[in-house]
Structure 1
Amino acid sequence: MPAPKDEEREVNPWTEEEAAQFLECLEASRERKVYKVLFRLLLVTGMRFGEAQALR
């Protein structure tokens, strides 16, 4: 039996304005600082969430 094929998903990255708006909302939130740092890292580097999870 052949392996199932992965479905291709369309990638729609945020615009610079959308990213800036997200960061503004994040800074205004009461989330823990570690989450703020994580999301900044993902946005600035283009890293995927799974890649960030592997960091030590």
Structure 2
Amino acid sequence: MTVFHPKKPEKEVISMRIPKDVLEILDQKSAQANISRNEFINQCILFALAHMENEA
């Protein structure tokens, strides 16, 4: 039988400035998705990074 070992992903605390109107949209969208603002921003960043054109 496989044993479950819960793991907490390593994360770094940062601070960033976001325009108020963008923050309002982030809050609305994260509430609609029923996830935290932090998780929503992380998923947006990962999506953007995965879909960027590779420029030198």
The answer to whether the superposition gives a TM-score over 0.5 is no
Give the TM-score normalised by the residue count of structure 2: 0.29
Between Structure 1 and Structure 2, the one with more helix by share is 1
Q: Which structure is higher in RCO with an 8 Å CA cutoff and minimum separation 6?
A: 1
Give the TM-score normalised by the residue count of structure 1: 0.29
